[in-house]
């Protein structure tokens, strides 16, 4: 049992070349983080077509954390184009299920998890949703469809500054540490943390990890 994350950059055609390069470098840094910090030695994340990515998470209960880390890593980036500000963002689909073939090259792998992830991303491409989950368990799907819709509502209202604070909180950093990195006061970090909805997001992540672990226990 694995999780597969498939994602597309939103409105990447509007990115200036230097901004797209910055976005891709940021994603690649996150792929390294997953391998080194989350003990995901075989995530096999890769970028294809220049504006899409896919990767395997061997611990399905960590897949939502990885998805939100990818999102916040980009949401803290912005660029000006045609007199407007563009914030980097993704549409992400998480598929949890079995795999028939897992190769070193992710493009050569297949199975239930890949199908769930790919088909779900196709489903949300034309709509307003940005993060969805699909598993073989109907109850899990129903619970997190509602939860992730609410998450989308919260995340769509983030400023780049708020997304940056959430990004570091997801990595387990304390307010004082974040303040030193960002160059603001600890009280300012706390204000951004509250404005970004960190408390309900942390509850969602905990519930996801517990539910996925319990539901798919024994299928790892």
Tell me the C-alpha distance between 44 and 58, whole Å.
Answer: 10
The answer to which of 39-48, 109-118, 158-167, 182-191 has the lowest mean pLDDT is: 39-48
Across 151-172, average pLDDT = 95
Mean pLDDT of the chain: 89
84 burial level (CB within 10 Å; 0-12, 13-18, 19+): exposed
The string of pLDDT tens digits covering residues 84-124 is 788 899 999 999 998 765 555 555 556 899 999 999 999 99
* pLDDT number for residue 152: 97
The pTM for the full model equals: 0.91
Which residue do the tokens 């007199």 mark?
83
How far is 160 from 185, CA to CA, in rounded Å?
Answer: 17
Rounded CA gap, 20 and 199, in Å? 32
pLDDT in tens, 182-207: 999 999 999 999 999 999 999 999 99
Residue 220's pLDDT band (boundaries 50, 70, 90)? low
Question: Could you tell me where the DSSP H helices lie in the chain?
Answer: 17-37, 63-75, 112-124, 138-155, 160-170, 175-182, 186-195, 198-215
Is pLDDT of 210 > 90?
A: yes
C-beta separation of 204 from 149 below 8 A: no
- Taking the C-alpha atoms of residue 47 and residue 79, their distance in angstroms, rounded to an integer, is 21
Of the candidates 38, 71, 77, 72, which has an alpha carbon nearest to the alpha carbon of residue 56? Answer: 38
pLDDT range class, residue 45, cuts 50, 70, 90 = confident
- pLDDT band (50, 70, 90) for residue 29: very high
How is the chain split into domains, by residue range?
2-157
CATH number of this structure's domain 2-157, picked from the four choices 3.30.930.10, 2.60.40.1180, 3.30.70.270, 3.30.420.10? 3.30.70.270
pLDDT at 211 over 90: yes
pLDDT at 44 over 90: no
Residue 58 has pLDDT above 70, yes or no: yes
pLDDT score of 40 more than 60: no
Q: Is the pLDDT of residue 56 over 60?
A: yes
Within 59-185, residue ranges assigned H as helices are: 63-75, 112-124, 138-155, 160-170, 175-182
Tokens at residue 84, please? 């407007």
């Amino acid at each position: 049992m694995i999780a597969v994350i498939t994602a597309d950059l939103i409105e990447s055609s509007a990115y200036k070349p230097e901004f797209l390069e910055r976005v891709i470098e940021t994603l690649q840094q996150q792929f390294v983080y997953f391998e080194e910090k989350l003990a995901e030695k075989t995530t096999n994340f890769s970028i294809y077509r220049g504006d899409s990515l896919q990767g395997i998470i061997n611990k399905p209960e960590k897949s939502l954390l990885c998805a939100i880390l990818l999102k916040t890593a980009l949401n803290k980036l912005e660029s000006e184009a045609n007199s407007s500000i563009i914030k980097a963002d993704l549409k992400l689909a998480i598929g949890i299920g079995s795999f028939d073939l897992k190769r070193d090259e992710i493009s050569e792998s297949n199975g239930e998890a890949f199908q769930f992830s790919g088909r779900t991303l196709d489903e949300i491409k034309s709509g307003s949703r940005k993060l969805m989950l699909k598993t073989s368990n109907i109850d899990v799907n129903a619970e997190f469809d509602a939860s992730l819709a609410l998450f989308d509502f919260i995340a769509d209202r983030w400023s780049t500054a708020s997304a940056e604070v959430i990004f570091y909180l997801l990595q387990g950093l304390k307010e004082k540490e974040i303040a030193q990195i960002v160059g603001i006061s600890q009280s300012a970090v706390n204000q951004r943390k509250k404005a970004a909805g960190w408390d309900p997001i942390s509850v969602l992540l905990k519930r996801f990890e517990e539910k996925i672990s319990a539901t798919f226990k024994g299928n790892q």
